[in-house]
Amino acid sequence: MDSLRFLRILLVSASILLVSLLYTVTAGDIVHQDDLAPKKPGCENDFVLVKVQTWIDGTEDAEFVGVGARFGRRIVSKEKNANQTHVVFANPRDCCSPLKTKLIGDVVIVDRGNCRFTAKANNAEAAGASALLIINNQKELYKMVCEPDETDLDIQIPAVMLPQDAGATLEKMLINSSKVSVQLYSPRRPAVDVAEVFLWLMAIGTILCASYWSAWSAREAAIEHDKLLKDAIDEIPSTNDGGSGVVEINTLSAICFVFLASGFLVVLYKLMSYWFVELLVVVFCIGGVEGLQTCLVALLSRWFQRAGDSYIKVPFLGPISYLTLAVSPFCIVFAVLWAVYRERSLAWIGQDVLGIALIITVLQIVHVPNLKVGTVLLSCAFLYDIFWVFVSKKLFHESVMIVVARGDKSGEDGIPMLLKIPRMFDPWGGYSIIGFGDILLPGLLIAFALRYDWLANKTLRTGYFIWAMVAYGLGLLITYVALNLMDGHGQPALLYIVPFTLGTMLTLARKRDDLWILWTKGEPERACPHHVRLEQCSE
């Protein structure tokens, strides 16, 4: 294998470890159920995010986001039903004793501490306040709950917790302005957002393109192999020696892969910080450049065949085609621009382009040789996904997968190994996202199905590819249904995708009596010319 091909496979193999973060979620969950704070009469609200829109002297100004309390009146969901209400500071500021000033339907701002939340709410309501804004003493939001022994819970005003920085801004507004008012409302997230539809189509399209490219390459290799057989060449190059640039997964590596991915996930969780995310961005850009370059060269070589077939020797990299040299600067500049401007509103487009190109390249280079390996790989990934999304909460007191995917401890919007699309009709904004692994790992099995269909000369109806593709689409669709039923809480996509995709393949193979061939060899028997040795045909 030449050094360029070795470098390429090395980069993609490293990327596989990174794309093992199998996670589907929509950012910005609104409802937060909390089993540690059980509901009881007078204290049974869901924890909802609340928009606090400010107005200074009648002009719309900054908007803050708080979290509603377990107690008190529920907050209206529509902006048109939310009144603009004058806001004042409590006196005393902690609102732990009856207020010295009577209020006439004002929203009162109080500081956290010195007494229970419900005591503050009762004092504010007794003074005539229409709502209570409690400023936290930290930057994070805090869920306001009721103590087990509390009984005075007949509170008829809403209570909202705001972070410390929002409180500081509100205080400056009140000092520098003659009149400050606020609107409090908690808009509901739509059941289905167009972003999820586009993300579903993106995942389907990525696997479709990668599968056809992989199957076309496999058929070309098979045709070339058969041509050599017909010519009765004594030394026939093996297709499994790595010279073709294809890496085949075996059963042991499929099992080890999941353990390595788990170890890598824990490292990400423990070391998650700004600098570590920056390191992941660099690695993602390297893999993205390789993927984008591979895809563009394969596409453009149809029109610039001469440039694709002409090579020049480059130190340390070996022979490189002129077409690759021409495409590489564009790919590098594209990745660098995305890395520099990835905080901009449209940066998700560049991330998706690099991510899709990387996934397609991995599916082109890495192959599942048979159904046995595919079953082991997806079964291990199935357990891995469930463990790190759900079971890890018992060990780490939070979902490790969710924390890593969101980049909660890094101060950034999450790791780049995700495809994402902004939620277009969601009042809370955020992104619908899907982990690379939710496309890549099922894609390995689906690409294998199409390679087998083409080599066996099966039609779409009698083959396995179309049914595996439909099963994947249904599994991903069920994932989004579960996501919405769970109020936006992250779901392990492979929990739904693997039973659909793998179950369909195994069921069809058993019904068609192809299970043994698919399970062991992974490719149909090919006729061997009578003048060629049998061992050459089996290579």
Write phi, then psi, for 156 (nearest 5 degrees). Answer: -110, 10
DSSP state of 343: T
DSSP state of 4: H
439 residue type, one letter: I
Q: Tell me if residue 426 is catalytic.
A: no
CB atoms within 10 A of CB 533: 14
524 three-state secondary structure: coil
Ordered DSSP codes for 49-110 = EEEEEEEETTEEEEEEEEEE-SSSSPPPS-GGGPPPEEEEE-SSTT--S--SS--SS-EEEE
* Catalytic residue chosen out of the listed positions 106, 193, 385, 426: 385
Q: Kindly list the distances between the CA atom of residue 497 and the CA atoms of 22, 361, 431, 494, in Å, as whole numbers in the listed order.
A: 11, 22, 21, 5
Instruction: For residues 73 and 124, give the distance between their C-alpha atoms in angstroms, rounded to a whole number.
Output: 13
* Catalytic residue chosen out of the listed positions 29, 106, 193, 438: 438
Instruction: For residues 226 and 232, give the distance between their C-alpha atoms in angstroms, rounded to a whole number.
Output: 10
111 three-state secondary structure: strand
Ordered DSSP codes for 259-283 = HHHHHHHHHHHHH-SHHHHHHHHHH
354 contacts 292 by C-beta, under 8 angstroms: yes
62 contacts 518 by C-beta, under 8 angstroms: no
117 contacts 133 by C-beta, under 8 angstroms: no
347 contacts 334 by C-beta, under 8 angstroms: no
Question: In 3D, which of 118, 108, 194 has the Cα closest to residue 154?
Answer: 118
376 three-state secondary structure: helix
Question: In 3D, which of 536, 212, 248, 494 has the Cα closest to residue 381?
Answer: 494
Q: Tell me if residue 385 is catalytic.
A: yes
Point out the residues that are catalytic: 385, 438
